Amino acid sequence: AQDFPRRNRLVAGMALGLVVVEAAQRSGSLISARLANDMGRLVFAVPGSPLDPRAAGCNALLKDGVTLVTEAADVLGALAPLAGTRPPRTAPLAEAPDISALPPPGENDRADVLEALGPTPIAVDDIIRHTGMSAAQISMVLLELDLAGRLERHAGGNVSLIA
């Protein structure tokens, strides 16, 4: 534990920027973020639910004006000028899959998706990984929930159940 301050200072000094993904109000990650800021490094934070104490530090950093991150391209784009590279190009949008050929989701599918959802926003990709269902099947269940008024959509493609 006595080496953490020294390690945090080294990490902050070696990086072009520092991303804080999850930090409670009193977290060592916040010390690293302060050190990076003091050294003129870019500081980024991933927002979290205001109801989650594990996100209080990140949310406080965002209130203080650090750069909001919702995907890797946010970091790469901000660091590109410092690294002497071009910002990443975003891939063209693919055509939507034809879901008319898929069978409608069953009750077990709906139950699996509902189990993955909660009041805290979650990425659709995480639901796909959790359930093992296809993206098209997940989209159909989420659409049903949305039309029933039970789903809330958030920035970055995240979703949550309406309490």
DSSP labels, 15-37: -SEEEE----SS-HHHHHHHHHH
CATH 3.40.50.450 residue ranges of the chain are: 4-83
We find that the CATH architecture of domain 4-83 is 3-Layer(aba) Sandwich (3.40)
List pLDDT tens digits, range 64-120: 999 999 998 888 888 888 777 665 555 665 665 565 666 778 899 999 999 999 899
92's tokens: 């063209």
For the chain, give every residue range classified as CATH 1.10.10.10: 99-161
CB 36 within 8 A of CB 18: yes
Taking the whole predicted model, whether its pTM rises above 0.95 is answered as: no
**Alpha-carbon distances of 92 from 33, 50, 98, rounded to whole Å:** 34, 33, 18
**pLDDT over 60 (residue 163):** yes
pLDDT score at 45: 96
Contacts of residue 17, defined as CB under 8 A and 6 or more positions apart, other chains included, come to 36, 41, 42, 43, 44, 75, 78, 79, 82
Looking at 3.30.1600.10, 3.40.50.2000, 2.40.30.10, 1.10.10.10, the CATH number of the domain 99-161 comes to 1.10.10.10
